[in-house]
Amino acid sequence: MAYKGQSEIMEYILMVVFIVAAIIGIIIFLTWWNLQQFQMDAFKNRQDRIIGIGQYMMGDYMFTNGDSVFDDAKLTAINASMNCDDLQKILGTNWYVKIKALDMEGEKPCRWNDYPNCNVWSICGYKENAKDRFGQNFPVNVYRKVSDKTALGVLYVEVYS
């Protein structure tokens, strides 16, 4: 009879161990699930921010000549004269935009003295030491004022922390 009571205690202890292990497993799974959801939300927020910056740039009269076509003369003027702080008041901090017209070989940065023989405009400068970079390319058109032609281009928007 003593053995029967001892085996019931052992069954009870074994059952408690399995229940505790199941509870711990569920807690670990739910924690992992929450972390995955946070990462997906962070990715979605960064993606939304990139799209928002791209839409703002393609729709603002300071950069385009209408119909979401970038104007190279306006881009050169903004690139040379505008302070990034003014745009960061509108779009927030920790972002970088590069617009490249694909009508020339290589990359030739646009400044006052290089215009119109250039094809790259960088807005709010590239940060070498930035972490958690995330960027996206958008196809755009760039109106070349001097030659009165529209070139295919790429708008690259990057956010970082």
Tell me: pLDDT of 155 over 80: yes
CB-hemisphere CA count at 13 Å for 128? 0
Q: CA separation (Å) from 115 to 13, 27, 79, 109, 134?
A: 81, 61, 11, 9, 30
pTM over 0.85: no
- Give the pLDDT of residue 86: 80
Q: What is the pLDDT of residue 145?
A: 87
pLDDT in tens, 49-75: 999 989 988 888 888 887 779 988 888
For 81-112, write each residue's pLDDT tens digit: 777 888 888 888 888 899 999 888 888 888 77
Each domain of the chain, given as residue ranges in start order, spans 11-159
Checking if the pLDDT of 5 tops 90, the result is no
